[in-house]
Amino acid sequence: MKDKDKQRKQTAQIGEAGVHFVVSELCRKGWIALPTTRNTRGVDVIVMRPDSLDFRALEVKSSHKPVKFWPVGAGWMPSSNFIFIFVRPQKKAEGSPFEAFVVSSKRVHKERTKPQGRWPGSWHVPKDDRALHVLLNNWNSIWQ
């Protein structure tokens, strides 16, 4: 297998792992979480409360290493029903548990960097520890 093909496969696998991590965490909280098919643009998970028809569409961005930013592109509109979940391993060690940053699409839209050439805009992890911990594994913020 060529290096580029191998890298593409690893990227797809880490993306799927991130989606299943998010679904698992949401189900553990007692919510209904369903991964979408891979060809659903911008929506990776649909989550609902079991006692209502209130739902959220989640886009999961995953990395195989503890990065400080994720590309987010520009083909989406901010909405209170659209949430980004940024997933990365806690440490560089292989098999390190994931951590997730739960961020509203409105905040991502406001904070993302401008696209430069072929590189899409990106969302960066806050440098301030307090701001970072507000977003870290804050699953309940999905409903705010």
**Tens-place pLDDT, residues 99-129:** 999 999 999 999 998 887 888 889 999 999 9
Q: What is the pLDDT of residue 144?
A: 81
pLDDT digit string, tens, across residues 68-101: 999 998 788 999 999 999 999 998 877 889 999 9
Whether the model clears a pTM of 0.85, i.e. scores above it, the answer is yes
| Domains present along the chain, CATH in parentheses | 3-143 (3.40.1350.10)
CB atoms within 10 A of CB 103: 23
